Structure 1
């Protein structure tokens, strides 16, 4: 078993254990392996070990990898970073899902360019109120949803957040819980939350997608 296969197996075991603690079936959580800035060869290794969902932050990198790895027919690309309108075309063409929708002009451009099945989207929420981070304030979500739900070519599946980093487990849980309660209020089943250092807590608080990079591929240069 390769290093990546071993690390993937460990992450899957931890996901299953977190699901068990929360009384949830393991299949209720999708693992998105965050492969940004990692070479296509490592993605092939992870794919060979059974991984199918991969996350990319940068639209042009997603475009290039989608071309290079087009032979991997079951691979699903998740665009997980903020988008400029001039880069939307790459996500609209190549992505299976988009996790960071927070600007109306991006939603409109995605809607215009998505020609096949509707693009599943998660609306990004800034639950920590950090000035340095993108995402809607919780009180902006209702009106944003009302507008983007009317756009063809998009399907709003849930909410996404990248809360402030903290070593305090209860503080972290509070952020995840706040996102879950906001999603429930708006009838959204999907919760894209949790990264390498906190995905188990996120699952216990209701995450349906976790974005794990370092624990699978190692540190980025």
Structure 2
């Protein structure tokens, strides 16, 4: 079996389409973000040539460097998907199409400041549903007050929620975590859900994901 990026991408898109059909949703309702962290610019070019336009990077400086190296690719959209330190905001604010890990007020304020003069930056507030020490994110209880403050910032646009529910191979538990995030988003009038990775993106789509972040199934294991 071929393991080219183009072939892998085609298989993932087919799986996305099948999950959307099972959920009674159009395929266009889900954005596939190819997570390219620690992958070469050459591999990103391969995915781009195969039709992929949305790419996710975890590290701010890597995002900055790749955005510069690949600026010749028209229509490429960068998604900043990792936790961000205040002193690294400058690397993300101008080049990101969206930010998927907003959890700190200081970062929100700095993003808004450095986004001035550009369109508002779509942001997903990250929640830590399982209150896991190893993961970033706000508690669900803190979401309301945080959103109220962020919505007052002029250059950010909170569009949805993001979470990495506790890992499990139990499909029912997977869907339970995704369903909880969907309910929290609905309660706060947020239309978008960034959830689901290589391990569980089909279950996330069945529970309403509008963005799935898939790396390994497209680019292979990271070394």
TM-score by length of 1: 0.99
State how far apart, in whole Å, the 2-side matches of 1:130 and 1:175 are.
13
Map of 1:158 onto structure 2? 160
| Secondary structure at 1:96 match in 2 | strand
Gaps of 5+ in 2: none
State how far apart, in whole Å, the 2-side matches of 1:32 and 1:162 are.
15
Map of 2:22 onto structure 1? 21
Map of 1:80 onto structure 2? 81
Tell me whether 1:176 sits opposite 2:193 in the alignment. Answer: no
Instruction: Measure how far apart 1:210 and its partner are.
Output: 0.1
State how far apart, in whole Å, the 1-side matches of 2:221 and 2:16 are.
20
Instruction: Map 1:1-221 to 2 at 5 A.
Output: 3-115=4-116, 116-221=118-223
Instruction: Measure how far apart 1:107 and its partner are.
Output: 0.1
TM-score by length of 2: 0.98
Superposed CA RMSD in Å reads 0.9
Instruction: Measure how far apart 1:93 and its partner are.
Output: 1.3
Between Structure 1 and Structure 2, how many residues are aligned? 221
Instruction: Measure how far apart 1:2 and its partner are.
Output: 7.5
